[in-house]
Structure 1
């Protein structure tokens, strides 16, 4: 009997395999961001075969401080403000990491971040997601199929550049060469209220190639901000 119980508990854990989606808000204009960028790069490398995913959003509110981040995007700043409302935490700051849309961390604090990943991996996945991508010239067709979503859910599809170096000339990081990881270049939203399967078309950056980029899709509850499931295409 004991053996059966142990067997069942192991089975149920494997069955509800958790995930950790780390969303980093960063900027080339912020001197406390490079340590967070480096840490997230290490985590990405270390957990490559696990259910851990890293997305780095370069916000634009540092762009007025003397250096414009080439990867910055006002949409990512808006996304960070949305999280401030979901989490009830103002003001926004960099480097901020949000795990599974539920908890925020200072992006360079390694111990608390690793504990957050462990905690996220121990919880069951609420939505299952299947993605298949095919490229046509400057765009990508992504077939998606989602199960187990909440009422007000969206599928978000991120085009991610795995790595880039930047030679920063001015601002808080003047005269430094910075390495960035998992840079979100485009984030597209698909409404899941009516249809849970279909095809989305994503425009690709000019330097896109399958080796240096990847597509990460995730389902988010737009009432609470919680991430319900995530998958690489």
Structure 2
């Protein structure tokens, strides 16, 4: 039933090929120790198959004391979630939580709420959305960040360029905790975030290492407030390499998504319609 919900959003906006180069960024904060996270993991996996979405899974550590230590959880991920929630005015953190474009938060196991948050983010003024260009070759990724309005982070903050390295797919059998006996499947598991410096509104070119097979590399331009807490994501781009070769282009991914949607809507594969 997950996939049916977001068809309420305007298809012209969700499947506009231009959005493949300007994806909506959806960050899931999750833990293998949380039973509700299984639903959120499945939802994120559907989102990860869309060219207009950059879906990232951040595993957090505070569930580790509940009987199962999540092997993908890091303190950096936990700190990022806490900083988000402080910036958004929340008193505490929880799982599963999704943050959309650094602006909106919602429970990650509620597909309709996630869809509404994505629609609200898409409805924001797009003048500040940076069309970041990426090109892979010779073991490196060339990144072009265009000139744009001088960023004005909250309370005197600034915009930073982040490189995010993530693993496209991982499976894990959980032997304790709330998910004991479950085989969990994760998509786009964040393994590293590197701060590449400030973006001041001027055009910037940089090179980052190519992702190994089975990994993706994303580049984000994100606002931070004066306390160093993350805020609105101004632009994003990614390059992914599948285990059997280089990742598909956004257009190829779009075609595959639409074909899958047609099959599911006609009952061709017996599943729910994709997001």
1:134 deviation in Å?
Answer: 4.6
Deviations 1:179-224 (A, max 9, x none): 11111111111222467524354596xxx41xx2221211111126
Contact (CA 8 Å) 2:161, 2:199: kept in 1 or not? no
TM-score by length of 1: 0.80
Which residue of structure 1 lines up, in the alignment, with residue 216 of structure 2? 214
1:53 deviation in Å?
Answer: 1.3
Partner Cα separation in structure 2 for residue 59 and residue 35 of structure 1: 16
Which residue of structure 2 lines up, in the alignment, with residue 188 of structure 1? 194
1:175 deviation in Å?
Answer: 1.2
- Gap runs ≥5 in structure 1: 1-9
Root-mean-square deviation (CA, aligned residues, Å) is 2.5
Which residue of structure 1 lines up, in the alignment, with residue 75 of structure 2? 74
Matched, 1:197 2:219: no
User: Aligned pair count?
Assistant: 209
Which residue of structure 2 lines up, in the alignment, with residue 156 of structure 1? 162
Check 1:58–1:202 CA distance in 2 against 1; reply closer, same or farther (3 A cut): farther
Which residue of structure 2 lines up, in the alignment, with residue 35 of structure 1? 39
Partner Cα separation in structure 1 for residue 127 and residue 81 of structure 2: 23
Partner Cα separation in structure 1 for residue 221 and residue 79 of structure 2: 18
Which residue of structure 2 lines up, in the alignment, with residue 232 of structure 1? 238
Deviations 1:88-144 (A, max 9, x none): 1120111000111111000010111112222222331512322334565xxx55534
Partner Cα separation in structure 2 for residue 157 and residue 43 of structure 1: 20
Check 1:26–1:79 CA distance in 2 against 1; reply closer, same or farther (3 A cut): same
